[in-house]
Amino acid sequence: MQVSYQSVGSGAGLEQYIAGTVDFGASEAPITDSEDRMKSFSGAYPFAPIQLPIVGGHVSFSYNLPGIGDQELSLTRETYCGIVTGEITQWSDPAIAAANPDLDIPDLPITFAHRSDGSGTTFVFVNHLDTVCDSWAAGVGTSVEWPVGIGGQGNEGVAATIQQNEGAIGYLSYAYAALNDISSAIVENQAGNFVEPTSENAANALLDAEVPEDFALLIPDPTGEDSYPIVGLVWVMIYQEYEDDAKWQALREVFEWSLGPDGDALAEELLFVPLPDPLVERIQEVFDTVNAG
């Protein structure tokens, strides 16, 4: 069985899903207010979208700062809000120094790297910014008008910008940053604690969340003492009906494998967060409602 995966970003992926040109799509941005959202795309609307969580993930502030070695950068809410809005432009800013008294941070201009394509990673990131940053004015979406920075296509484009520019900082899927050895910051959460972007801390943010009936769970600023603050789910988008029963059964096997023990082990290895069993049981029930053949 083969799945053709294209990392085109959630915006393009959702457009292909809604146009009916793919068998399924995936996104870190759920379809909310379905009718209005889907009317904004061309294609095979109207139909009832089915979006099902497949795994949890989180977004990191990743950076390139020479001279600090393996020491980790700490970012308060004040500092990272200032960086993304352009109010803090130098690494020598007193607010950054105050949060990192033991680091010899170089006096470099800050280059902020962001996605240029429609992206679920962007959605998770700006959904958090819109909640915690008073001066954030660009709103929430898979694409926004960034007040500052350099755009890159996909996680790989943002990563390249960070790696090629000393003094750069940007946002990445943490799994991508960690597996490519790109340093990521410790960030302040709602409880005022500085937490590392580990899978365990991301899982803490999802522990007590009540997933709504349409599975479109958003946690823009989790409250837990040890919760990493920039987290989200990855959803697969499937159809209510498939003409080919064999194709649907093949798809279902892929999803059930992904949600089972083997998939969970791979998710953990790749620094994502497996879903809890009660949520998986709810997802299985939805699989039973799909019509095929």
- Domain locations in the chain as residue ranges: 10-56+231-292, 59-205
Arithmetic mean of pLDDT, 109-122: 94
Name the one residue in this structure whose structure tokens are 């899978």: 199
Pick the CATH number of 10-56+231-292 from 3.30.470.30, 3.40.190.10, 3.20.20.60, 3.40.47.10: 3.40.190.10
- CA nearest to 277, candidates 265, 289, 262, 259: 259
How high is the pLDDT of residue 42? 45
Residue 87 token pair: 């109010």
List pLDDT tens digits, range 12-38.
888 888 888 899 998 888 877 555 555
How high is the pLDDT of residue 121? 92
Check whether 149 has a pLDDT greater than 90. Answer: yes
List pLDDT tens digits, range 70-108.
889 999 999 999 999 999 999 999 999 999 999 999 999
Q: How confident is the model at residue 46 (pLDDT cuts 50, 70, 90)?
A: low
Check whether 180 has a pLDDT greater than 80. Answer: yes
Torsion sign (Cα): 142, 117, 272, 111: negative
- CA nearest to 149, candidates 86, 93, 90, 92: 86
How high is the pLDDT of residue 18? 82
For residues 127 and 221, what is the distance between their CA atoms, to the nearest angstrom? 9
Arithmetic mean of pLDDT, 131-138: 97
- CA nearest to 215, candidates 57, 19, 55, 7: 55
Check whether 115 has a pLDDT greater than 80. Answer: yes
Report the percentage of the chain scoring pLDDT > 90. 75
For residues 225 and 87, what is the distance between their CA atoms, to the nearest angstrom? 28
CATH superfamily, region 59-205: Periplasmic binding protein-like II (3.40.190.10)
Residue 285 token pair: 């029930």
Check whether 41 has a pLDDT greater than 90. Answer: no
Query: Which has more pLDDT, 39 or 169?
Result: 169
Q: What are 55's strand-pairing partners?
A: 234
What's the mean pLDDT when you consider all of the chain? 91
How high is the pLDDT of residue 47? 63
- With vertex at residue 80, the alpha carbon angle to CA 72 and CA 216, rounded to the nearest 5 degrees, is 105
For residues 187 and 75, what is the distance between their CA atoms, to the nearest angstrom? 5
How high is the pLDDT of residue 118? 85
How high is the pLDDT of residue 162? 97
Contact 239, 50 (CB under 8 A): yes
Arithmetic mean of pLDDT, 111-131: 94
List pLDDT tens digits, range 217-237.
999 999 999 999 999 999 999
Domains 10-56+231-292 and 59-205 share a fold: yes
